[in-house]
Homo-oligomer: A and B are copies of this chain.
Amino acid sequence: MKVKFSSPGKITLFGEHAIVYGRPAIVSAINKRVYVSMEKRDDDFIKIISDLSSDFISINEISNYKGSLIYIIKAIEILSKYTGRKKGVNIIINSEMPISAGLGTSAAVSIATIAAYSRIIDYNISISEIAKLGHKVELEVQGIASIMDTTISTFGGTMYIKPNVTIEKIKIDYEIPFILGYIKREYNTAYMVNKVKSLMNENKEIIEKIMETIGLIVEEGKKAILEKNIEKIGLLMNINHGLLDSLGVSNKELNDMVYLARKAGALGAKLTGAGGGGCIIALCPNNESIKNNICNAIESIGGKVIPILLSEEGLKEED
């Protein structure tokens, strides 16, 4: 028995970091996905082959696992406990995106793994159970996690998410042309989230007000998206980027890509995700020569251009 599921990565249009402090964010699934293939084994072992590394481990020892494939192992562990069922499996992972780039690959792999493994163990799981357990995976691995990434990886589309308050789908029936620029991260998400946390602890009043301001940008951003006001979206991205810079989560390489993209004609540009390196998004006017200039600008400082489209597709079973 073989199954294959895929889940999308995401970009944060507005509101990263502030969402950790109860503010809303707007997040979009993108047309780059993580694929998880599974096949039942006759023994109790889990064998994983991914783009980057491989592992072979007994299903009875997964609670002690510390390796690089932790999200996959943790997803299997949590689902096994949740259902009381377990099986040995061969797993193959492929990603169309760089990992640890702020694109939500850990959420995508967790969600697709839960979906595939529930089929393997013959548990009839609901989509909202998948989203909930996916968030639990991130929480247990990272210690801290918003529901943002796992929600988008499960349901796709563009969402306005306010933790513990609301998750609203934002219907986008027109193209918002983004270019993604990627550069290797200096620090991972957990490090950046904790960095902001200690900044908050030591400068509560100032940082709270910055988070409030980001919250306002998210509200205005939602309006601008619904009104198809592309120029306003770009302007709000620029303001949001400066506020992220003030939180200490940008770095020289991200700022270089952001400013060069703007100079090359982007209507707006910001880092996306937790920062400390990783990705920027540049909002492009509908003009091929300007798009080329933006790509060249990103590449001129060693950034990698990843062409993306916003996508409505969430978790999906593959043929």
A interface list, Cβ under 8 A from B: 203, 205-206, 209-210, 212-213, 216-217, 220, 235-236, 238-248, 250-252, 255-256, 259-260, 263
Contact = CB atoms under 8 A, between A and B. Distances in A.
A252 B259 contact: yes
Contacts of A250: 242
A220 B209 CA distance: 14
A206 B256 contact: no
B209 A209 contact: yes
Nearest to A260: B252
A271 B260 CA distance: 19
A3 to B, nearest CB: 46
A241 B246 contact: yes
9 contacts: A203-B235, A206-B220, A239-B247, A239-B248, A242-B243, A243-B243, A251-B259, A252-B263, A256-B256
A242 B252 contact: no
Question: In the complex, which of the residues A213, A244, A251, A260 has the most CB atoms of chain B within 10 Å of its own CB atom?
Answer: A213
- Give the number of copies in the complex: 2
A15 to B, nearest CB: 13
A275 to B, nearest CB: 12
Contacts of A251: 259
Nearest to A248: B238
Contacts of A239: 203, 206, 210, 246-248
Nearest to A262: B252
Contacts of A213: 206, 209-210, 213
Contacts of A238: 246, 248
A172 B217 CA distance: 38
Given A242-B245, A263-B252, A206 B210 contact: no
A242 B209 CA distance: 14
Contacts of A242: 242-248, 250
Contacts of A206: 213, 216-217, 220, 239
